[in-house]
Structure 1
């Protein structure tokens, strides 16, 4: 999977589905029954959404990351909180090299897990080859362009990226729409 920030033409367009009130004549009872069923379904869906909430958003401190700079991390997400709605960054290891700013060349190793199923979806560590990019140039998702500003060479940073700064409702294959992304990134090289 590539962390591409821009997608070409979206080939599929969702179509609205309309339900027929019934066949073989209409009556006020059938219309009333359909409306009541739709309202009950809507209420049930709203209750399920509320019940699914854990009551608080997770923070960087709730995420467990094992492994040091240069080694593939193991990331564990908690079950007792909701994914954050804002971008969260936390330096897990602070390097001593130059800080990355918009326009800088940056080479990173990373591991990505998806919030909804806590599965590793991609890792440059597994490929043994860092990802080169120009920070802030739109080559990667917005969460990376924003979340990696200020990272120092030699640092390991946790990024928790909400859907609006990730892939939103149009993710690549293997990912659910509206997915929150969790990355651990190592800044291998900052600058030319």
Structure 2
């Protein structure tokens, strides 16, 4: 899941998302549903809805990290702050928010350490399989289908079919599922791809096991968490210039 800046999570969006998940509050909102007919009303409602949708996505990050919250207190704090009558001074608010930020960062670091360790353990065990080859960089691969075509170079543009998963089997991207091959320059992709696809011949199919440092490293992208080891099944269809 894509993670927002911490300040956004611990500010008003977190409070909004918490109260939006309360079943009783949701039922009450449904019972008093209002249709907005003015431009100001429609725009204001849309802005509020966007904040709620965004916040609901972000609070899932907090839940995944095991950080609990008192939803009633969150709602009360948001309402009081919005109305200008907070029970706490600005200094007290800053202190509590900073304490939560430290908890959030610690939990996130623990999660990332566990993810790194899981990836390393997976690769250690995977390397013991006879069909798996490990290169000097740490990239692992196995040949699924051999071929006798040409090998691409780092500056070449290739056409491939691929299927990408995390080590737990979660699919994060797949040209196979989309039913349409992908084309890209090999020097514009993650290092594990640049190295690995150059080992392939046109017509071959490989499975690559890519350590996080040869993938996206500490950067989360799309459905790929930071520090993730990635698995790709890749079929090399052609090297540019393409004939079709």
1:92 aligns with 2:144: yes
* C-alpha distance in structure 2 between counterparts of 1:63 and 1:129, whole Å: 29
More contact order relative to length (CA 8 Å, sep ≥ 6): 1
1:105 to 132, 147, 157: 157
CA RMSD after TM alignment:
3.3
Deviations 1:112-163, CA, capped at 9 Å, x for gaps: 0101x2212211011111110122x2x2111101111131110001110000
Per the alignment, do residues 96 and 60 of structure 1 end up closer, same or farther by CA in structure 2, a change over 3 Å counting? farther
Task: Check conservation: 1:100, 1:191, Cα contact below 8 A.
Answer: no
2:212 paired residue number: 163
Deviation at 1:175, TM superposition (A): 2.0
- Flag the structure with higher strand content: 1
TM-score between both structures, scaled by the size of structure 1: 0.56
* C-alpha distance in structure 2 between counterparts of 1:123 and 1:133, whole Å: 15
Which runs of no fewer than 5 residues in structure 1 stay unpaired?
1-10, 15-44, 65-84
How many residue pairs end up in the alignment?
A: 127
Deviation at 1:63, TM superposition (A): 8.7
* C-alpha distance in structure 2 between counterparts of 1:146 and 1:158, whole Å: 13
Per the alignment, do residues 61 and 167 of structure 1 end up closer, same or farther by CA in structure 2, a change over 3 Å counting? same
Deviation at 1:174, TM superposition (A): 1.9
Deviation at 1:188, TM superposition (A): 0.7
Asked which structure has the greater CA Rg, the reply is: 2
Q: Give the SS at the match of 2:125.
A: coil
Task: Check conservation: 1:60, 1:90, Cα contact below 8 A.
Answer: no
Which runs of no fewer than 5 residues in structure 2 stay unpaired?
8-109
1:184 aligns with 2:233: yes
Task: Check conservation: 2:141, 2:206, Cα contact below 8 A.
Answer: yes
2:189 to 102, 117, 140: 140
1:149 paired residue number: 198
Per the alignment, do residues 60 and 128 of structure 1 end up closer, same or farther by CA in structure 2, a change over 3 Å counting? farther
Per the alignment, do residues 62 and 171 of structure 1 end up closer, same or farther by CA in structure 2, a change over 3 Å counting? farther
